[in-house]
Structure 1
Amino acid sequence: MTKLKTFAGKINSGHVYALLISLLGVALFTYSNHLEFLQYPTPRWVWIYALTGASLILTFSLVQLPPEGNELTMESAVYLACIFVFGGSTTLTVLLLNCLIFFFFDTSTSWWKHLTNFSIYSIMICLSSYTFDLFGGHPGPLINDELPAYLMTLAVYFIGNTLLIGLYYYIIYKGTLYETIKDIIKDSFVVYLCTLVLSLVLVVLIVHNSFFGLVLFLCLSTLLCYSFKRLFSMYRSIEERANTDQRTGLFNHSYFEEALEQEIQKSRASGVPLSLAMIDLDDFKKYNDHFGHLQGDKLIAFVGETLKSEAQQHGIIASRYGGEEFTLLMPAYDILQARVYIDQLRKKLNNSRFDGVEIFPLGCLAFSAGIASCTSDIHDKSQLVDQADQALYYSKRQGKNTVHTYGAYSSLEQELDFSQDVRDIEQQLNLFMYKDMETFRHSKRVFRYAMDISELLDIDALSKRHFTLGALIHDIGKLEIPWGILNKKDKLEPEEWEMVKWHVTWGKKMALTNDKFKDLAPYIELHHERYDGKGYPYGFKGEEIPRLCRMLTIIDSFDAMTTERPYQPTKSVEEAIIELRACAGSQFDPELTEFFITYIESRELRAGDAAI
């Protein structure tokens, strides 16, 4: 039958369950046995010793089953046969002797685990014995007319073991009871079936062949146990190959995914910290291009061997994530411990010799690493991977050969994020370079104005980011306007102007397709609203328009007035300031207009002083 195995860090809930099972098992044993063994005649004791010896031999003939550490022994066939031939009381006596002897032989197992397994057997034997009696079974030879009693007894024994073990793993792993029991049945049903059928075979052998029949049964059972062990060994060998990256000897990506999910569940259940490090070899492509893929594979293998050796010494799960990327899954490591360990590993690799490392920028092997720690708000393995990957990105951005922990140096992360977002938006704006170069230049100028203004306004870092990026992307919707209208030298016709006005709606839809830029949609959609409510697309008025959108309207209009446009004359800075003041209160927010004018005048004054 399947036996228990406890896990470090989870013994509290497991011990409570074991205590309850032990109390129930001992109570049932005491109630059912009644110390009847004190009155057994000598022939009965001879059989008890013989059956105890048989059960001990089968107890030591273990069959291993998933989940890892589960052990199934075939002594249950002896107990069931004993119920069918001699009754439940004799069977409990055989169990007691078996467990006492096994307790003195197996000193590596804690006493409470021995007691728990004894109690589980006692519960199953008692329930099976009661079932056999309830369905009209009589101890002795196998009787065909009593087949329902035998089948029901076998079913109760099987169900009892499955439920008792399933509840234990349900408590330990905090999963669903249904899934836990289903996994146990799926993994061990065939072995259970063999054990239960063998119990009926043993009944026939005992009744008709006495002790010789028992010897024949032991030979058959031992051979079956040996066969199961060979099959399990083959299974493990195939599983190991399936879970191993052949190039490095590390675990592969698939195994990493499974292990990560399991370790997250363990961490959440026990409260033990868990960290994940993602490692990427720096400048590996340069090495690969210079020496070829075969030598590059040798370098990957060398790094894999180093990681594997280090990981095995510290209880860490090292995997090849793909290409030159590796993962280190670190149970019991908090974020600080993980950083210290990965930094030491980085330095060790820096000092490792390998052919050709002199072509690397630092003249040595180097990697960048990102570390994330499993926290209470991590509900899915992909979240932890994304955080570690993001930390790895920041590590690369800091110049490589560094270790970065997720959430550290938030100001640096914000700066790097902002720089990357600017580049992403500029890639989109590059499309204007063939369609309307002036819109491209206008967007860049408005962005620079917004950068200056954001430093003067009393706004938080997130608002500053949204405002400046919104200024850069505000005209993105003009990509949908036909080239002929965008570049028309004459005044636009009414229907053409209506099409131009649609660019704010088209731009908003573009921004909403990317989660990174959806917060910029208001700046795209509302930068042509007017303070007096006569703008488009909604006709919002005054405070209905977000404050920074009102500021963007002023910046956009000022740049439009002071640079050459095909459908309007160009104004000087002084003329543009006059226009801004003239439209303050109607087109523009009066307060923000004066704020912007003060900025422009100050800038012009500094430019004049510099010219002198």
Structure 2
Amino acid sequence: MEFMAKKNIYVTCVSILGIVMFLLHGDFSFVSLSEWVLGFALIGATLILIHFQIQLPPEGNFLSMDSAIYLACIFVFGIKVTLVVLFFSSLVNFFYERETKWWKHIFNFSTYTLMIIGGGYTFILTGGSIGVIHQELLFSYLLAMVPYFLVNVILIGFFFWIAKKQSLLTVFKGMIAGTVETYISTLLLSLVLGFLLQSSPFFGLALFVGIAVLLSFIFRQHFKLYQTVRNKANIDHLTGLKNHGYFKEVLTNKLLELKQSQATLSLAMLDIDDFKKYNDGNGHLKGDHLLTFFGQLLEKACSKYEYTVARFGGEEFVIMMPNTNQYEAASFIDHLRKDVNDTYFEGVELLPYGCLSYSAGIMEWNKEILNASEYISHADQAMYYAKKQGKNNTHIYGNEIDSISIDKPMKELEQQLNILLAKDIYTYRHSKRVFKYAVEFSKHLDITDHEKKVLILGALIHDIGKIEVPRDVINKKGKLNADEWELVKKHVTWGKDIVSLNKKYQEIVPLVELHHERYDGKGYPHGLKEEETPKLARILCIIDSFDAMTTERPYQKTKSYREAITELSVCSGTQFDPFYVEGFIDFIENNYIEDEKKESTTI
């Protein structure tokens, strides 16, 4: 709202100033019939040249041929006639270009009015003689161009400064770059037109307009060729997305802008999971089709926002997300990841998850980042951390888990856990997430550091017994029958036997064996009730159940955090210890539900 108010005030002030200056210096008519005829010819020529602009690289750069007419009119006929030509051409253009907002027409008219008056008075005050184009007046012509050019740069520059929230210096540098040559060309063309108007006004004007229109067509064809060559250099030939080089160039320019503003920017690095396995199982041609298909999914999702997506190399893709913080970016990437999981592509059933998936790293820009390479490197590190957590995952850079100085035993247990990675990737990832929750929740519990260590290690290895469950049972997609369910329930006993082999992990055994006991005594394997189950196992039961409820499965609906904590509340005192479940719900609400609120504000 504040931005809109500032823009409206600025546009109104410039418009009022321009209109007042026009009323003081201009008129609404020509004097004689011959002036009317020539005036209409000039107005018509101006409208034609506004329509047939000469397009120049880079995109959005045009040679202003209507300015050549205004300058020629200043030199040959003076300020008054020039303003009348401007008024009528602007009036006709107002009704012709109805899709353009009315205030833009008025702002544009006012800007040109101030440019013409500035250039006209400078020409007169520096010794310029109206009605004669002569080489002795070259200095006056050049000086007249200075205010004509500066008024345009200043007025339009301030508008973009307000609109884009960039530094004023950055805006002016962007406007001046490449425009000086354009204005010098405009001045030369105005002098050519001035000579033609002196010798034969109507024929000269027709000749000038004809050449200008022809040049417009020629330059348009050259520009299309330029765009084609440029696009080939910037586009990845396989996916049709922007390529590595283009993306890095755009990101570098964006970082330069950010250093002058308070805007936010997040970067996501995505890597298709197990792409090599897909290639090996389906062939490289199908692999290329998968890359194209995946690129199209990303482009479609990003087209709703001002996000830039590119193929970075191989099966890696990057997304630049302006005006998006890391939580909003993570929410967007996670929602997209779930959509990708649920979108079938031929051959993905061979992959560990049985669906198309990716791992993603998120990095929000901060002023300590030196350049684009460092920024991309941080996002890449976050992406590889996500892969280490079991793939099909999103990780924000800097949110790595602090495991309270238990690195050595954790690494030993992780080596055992890695066996699950080949057999059941869902259990592996479930164990990693339960471990993460245990690390975070333990900081909010009134327990000793030693108990925290036992809880965390127990969380990491609690489902190790599923190694003994047959693969066809553990990976069954349908409902388990009674015999299969009894087999799965034995994983707690098998897990206890595995962990008991190493005496230094004896304290973890109760968590592995008893994390499926219920507070009301209806759990397994022993049917323990209330505090008969050790405290840490009761805590682990809550964490384990919460993650099981929110675990993603392809082609299936997943419970939200809010739905899961509602379930925890309903089962408080029956399945779960009421004291610890209340604390865990508070922890989730404060650390995850609040993040969901922040993430949903702009995505």
Fold agreement, TM-score > 0.5: yes
Q: For the residues of structure 1 that align with 2:47 and 2:404, how far apart are their CA atoms? A: 67
Query: SS where residue 147 of structure 1 aligns?
Result: helix
Q: For the residues of structure 2 that align with 1:14 and 1:267, how far apart are their CA atoms? A: 21
Q: How does 1:578-593 map to 2 (within 5 A)?
A: none
Q: Of 402, 407, 410, which aligns to 1:414?
A: 402
Structure 1 match to 2:194: 203
Are the structure 2 counterparts of residues 38 and 355 from structure 1 closer, same or farther at C-alpha, using a change threshold of 3 Å? Answer: closer
Structure 2 match to 1:117: 108
1:332 to partner: Cα distance: 5.1
1:140 to partner: Cα distance: 1.4
Structure 2 match to 1:571: none
For these two proteins, the number of residue pairs brought into alignment is 422
Q: For the residues of structure 2 that align with 1:402 and 1:168, how far apart are their CA atoms? A: 43
Q: Of 215, 228, 240, which aligns to 1:237?
A: 228
Structure 1 match to 2:38: 47
Q: What is the one-letter code of the residue matched to 1:326?
A: F
Instruction: Give deviations 1:176-224, integer Å, cap 9, x for gaps.
Output: 6566445444433444333221111111211211212111111011112
Alignment root-mean-square deviation, CA: 4.0
- Corresponding position: 1:141 with 2:118: no
Q: For the residues of structure 1 that align with 2:216 and 2:85, how far apart are their CA atoms? A: 21
Q: For the residues of structure 2 that align with 1:84 and 1:418, how far apart are their CA atoms? A: 83
Instruction: Give deviations 1:91-130, integer Å, cap 9, x for gaps.
Output: 0111111111111221222222222211221111111111
Q: For the residues of structure 1 that align with 2:207 and 2:156, how far apart are their CA atoms? A: 31
Q: For the residues of structure 1 that align with 2:2 and 2:392, how far apart are their CA atoms? A: 35
Q: What is the one-letter code of the residue matched to 1:201?
A: V
1:366 to partner: Cα distance: 1.5
Larger Rg: 1
1:370 to partner: Cα distance: 2.5
Q: For the residues of structure 2 that align with 1:317 and 1:416, how far apart are their CA atoms? A: 39
Instruction: Give deviations 1:372-392, integer Å, cap 9, x for gaps.
Output: 445788786567545533432
Q: Of 242, 249, 261, which aligns to 1:251?
A: 242
Q: Of 64, 72, 84, which aligns to 1:81?
A: 72
Are the structure 2 counterparts of residues 382 and 171 from structure 1 closer, same or farther at C-alpha, using a change threshold of 3 Å? Answer: farther
- Corresponding position: 1:31 with 2:19: no
Q: For the residues of structure 1 that align with 2:232 and 2:36, how far apart are their CA atoms? A: 51
Are the equivalent residues in 1 in contact too, given 2:30–2:39 (CA < 8 A)?
Answer: no
Q: For the residues of structure 1 that align with 2:2 and 2:258, how far apart are their CA atoms? A: 9
1:133 to partner: Cα distance: 0.9
- List runs of 5+ in structure 1 lacking aligned partners: 1-7, 424-454, 462-612
Q: For the residues of structure 2 that align with 1:186 and 1:230, how far apart are their CA atoms? A: 24
Q: For the residues of structure 1 that align with 2:408 and 2:372, how far apart are their CA atoms? A: 26
Are the equivalent residues in 1 in contact too, given 2:25–2:80 (CA < 8 A)?
Answer: yes
Are the equivalent residues in 1 in contact too, given 2:167–2:261 (CA < 8 A)?
Answer: no
Query: SS where residue 225 of structure 1 aligns?
Result: helix
Seq. identity, %:
41
Structure 1 match to 2:334: 343
Q: What is the one-letter code of the residue matched to 2:18?
A: G
Structure 1 match to 2:269: 278
Q: For the residues of structure 1 that align with 2:16 and 2:408, how far apart are their CA atoms? A: 64
1:335 to partner: Cα distance: 4.6
Are the structure 2 counterparts of residues 319 and 13 from structure 1 closer, same or farther at C-alpha, using a change threshold of 3 Å? Answer: farther
Query: SS where residue 268 of structure 2 aligns?
Result: strand
Structure 1 match to 2:580: none
Q: For the residues of structure 2 that align with 1:296 and 1:420, how far apart are their CA atoms? A: 39
Are the equivalent residues in 2 in contact too, given 1:9–1:272 (CA < 8 A)?
Answer: no
Are the equivalent residues in 1 in contact too, given 2:55–2:216 (CA < 8 A)?
Answer: no
Are the equivalent residues in 2 in contact too, given 1:268–1:376 (CA < 8 A)?
Answer: yes
Are the equivalent residues in 1 in contact too, given 2:165–2:261 (CA < 8 A)?
Answer: no
- List runs of 5+ in structure 2 lacking aligned partners: 412-446, 454-603
Q: What is the one-letter code of the residue matched to 1:415?
A: S
Q: For the residues of structure 2 that align with 1:383 and 1:288, how far apart are their CA atoms? A: 31
Are the equivalent residues in 2 in contact too, given 1:17–1:168 (CA < 8 A)?
Answer: yes
Query: SS where residue 194 of structure 1 aligns?
Result: helix
Q: For the residues of structure 1 that align with 2:231 and 2:340, how far apart are their CA atoms? A: 27
Are the structure 2 counterparts of residues 66 and 110 from structure 1 closer, same or farther at C-alpha, using a change threshold of 3 Å? Answer: farther
Please identify, of 170-179 and 234-243, the stretch whose mean Cα deviation from structure 2 is larger. 170-179
1:280 to partner: Cα distance: 1.0
Structure 1 match to 2:212: 221
What's the TM-score, normalizing by structure 1?
0.60
Q: For the residues of structure 1 that align with 2:161 and 2:390, how far apart are their CA atoms? A: 47
Q: How does 1:476-555 map to 2 (within 5 A)?
A: none
1:58 to partner: Cα distance: 0.8
Q: For the residues of structure 2 that align with 1:217 and 1:110, how far apart are their CA atoms? A: 31
Q: How does 1:353-502 map to 2 (within 5 A)?
A: 353-374=344-365, 385-406=376-397, 410=399, 413-415=401-403, 419=407
Q: What is the one-letter code of the residue matched to 2:361?
A: G
Are the equivalent residues in 2 in contact too, given 1:173–1:269 (CA < 8 A)?
Answer: no
Q: For the residues of structure 1 that align with 2:192 and 2:370, how far apart are their CA atoms? A: 50
Structure 2 match to 1:22: 15
Are the structure 2 counterparts of residues 327 and 310 from structure 1 closer, same or farther at C-alpha, using a change threshold of 3 Å? Answer: same
Are the equivalent residues in 2 in contact too, given 1:65–1:187 (CA < 8 A)?
Answer: no
Q: For the residues of structure 1 that align with 2:210 and 2:116, how far apart are their CA atoms? A: 24
1:40 to partner: Cα distance: 1.6
Q: For the residues of structure 2 that align with 1:420 and 1:206, how far apart are their CA atoms? A: 89
Q: For the residues of structure 2 that align with 1:93 and 1:322, how far apart are their CA atoms? A: 58
- Corresponding position: 1:59 with 2:47: no
Q: For the residues of structure 2 that align with 1:71 and 1:218, how far apart are their CA atoms? A: 16
Q: For the residues of structure 1 that align with 2:385 and 2:3, how far apart are their CA atoms? A: 36
Q: What is the one-letter code of the residue matched to 1:29?
A: F
Structure 2 match to 1:321: 312
What's the TM-score, normalizing by structure 2?
0.60
Q: For the residues of structure 2 that align with 1:322 and 1:416, how far apart are their CA atoms? A: 37
1:273 to partner: Cα distance: 5.7
Query: SS where residue 414 of structure 1 aligns?
Result: coil
Q: For the residues of structure 2 that align with 1:186 and 1:133, how far apart are their CA atoms? A: 29
Q: For the residues of structure 1 that align with 2:309 and 2:162, how far apart are their CA atoms? A: 29
Query: SS where residue 133 of structure 2 aligns?
Result: coil
Q: What is the one-letter code of the residue matched to 2:402?
A: Q
Q: For the residues of structure 2 that align with 1:112 and 1:417, how far apart are their CA atoms? A: 64
Query: SS where residue 320 of structure 2 aligns?
Result: strand
Query: SS where residue 81 of structure 2 aligns?
Result: helix
Are the structure 2 counterparts of residues 247 and 421 from structure 1 closer, same or farther at C-alpha, using a change threshold of 3 Å? Answer: farther
Instruction: Give deviations 1:47-93, integer Å, cap 9, x for gaps.
Output: 22111111111111234467755554310111111111110111011
Q: What is the one-letter code of the residue matched to 2:105?
A: H
Are the structure 2 counterparts of residues 14 and 256 from structure 1 closer, same or farther at C-alpha, using a change threshold of 3 Å? Answer: farther
Instruction: Give deviations 1:22-62, integer Å, cap 9, x for gaps.
Output: 343333323322x3x55722222222211111111111123
Are the structure 2 counterparts of residues 242 and 298 from structure 1 closer, same or farther at C-alpha, using a change threshold of 3 Å? Answer: same
Q: What is the one-letter code of the residue matched to 1:246?
A: H
Query: SS where residue 216 of structure 1 aligns?
Result: helix
Are the structure 2 counterparts of residues 385 and 333 from structure 1 closer, same or farther at C-alpha, using a change threshold of 3 Å? Answer: same
Are the equivalent residues in 1 in contact too, given 2:161–2:167 (CA < 8 A)?
Answer: yes
